[in-house]
A = this chain, B = another copy of it.
């Protein structure tokens, strides 16, 4: 990374560091609580990120109580259990497959948009994809709050879905620990692919 490239951005260096360059996936956390007000401030920022048809399918279930956390832990991969137990806050991130029901309100200039999504499989794919975009914004938002995010894919998503979303209309996508980084919160940064190997032009 050259000095020149960072300076081509409008976002200042401190913010670049906060959100991307110095930010890291945390594996340990301090006991400092993450408040509802902090979560609301994060959500109020990232909810402006774009989604297809403005559908906003992401739903966030915060596991605050010890009882709720205990219901999650059996479904989490062994290597993720200790950090999930010790994080001040763990969020279950899910897509609402029936997000289209709210399109008449969210996409009011095309009231028929809801009817474009009657096929459940197609709708589920769209919900999954757009919720994932929103998870990208959310991870940035957690960092914008000065907190560390710890996304985890190592868990039984179907079992967590049955446990916390028995209605069957939500699909669990990711777990996210949130808090201040604790001791030895991360290893060395893993390598990132260089631009010329992933960005091409025609």
A-to-B contact residues, CB < 8 Å: 1, 4-6, 8-12, 15-16, 18-21, 23, 25, 36-50, 52, 54, 56, 58-65, 67-68, 102, 105-109, 126, 128-130, 132-137, 139-140, 144-146, 149, 151, 153, 164, 173, 187, 189-193, 195, 198-202
Contacts and interface: CB of A to CB of B under 8 A. Distances in A.
Contacts of A61: 200-202
Given A23-B48, A136-B134, A139-B133, A43 B199 contact: yes
A190 B107 contact: yes
A12 B59 CA distance: 26
Identical copies of this chain, number: 2
A155 to B, nearest CB: 12
A151 B68 CA distance: 37
A82 to B, nearest CB: 18
A20 B41 contact: no
Contact of A20 (B49, B132, B189, B202): B49
A132 B134 CA distance: 9
Nearest to A57: B198
Nearest to A193: B56
Contact of A8 (B6, B38, B56, B129): B38
Contacts of A130: 132
A170 to B, nearest CB: 11
Contacts of A201: 36, 61-64
B151 A50 contact: yes
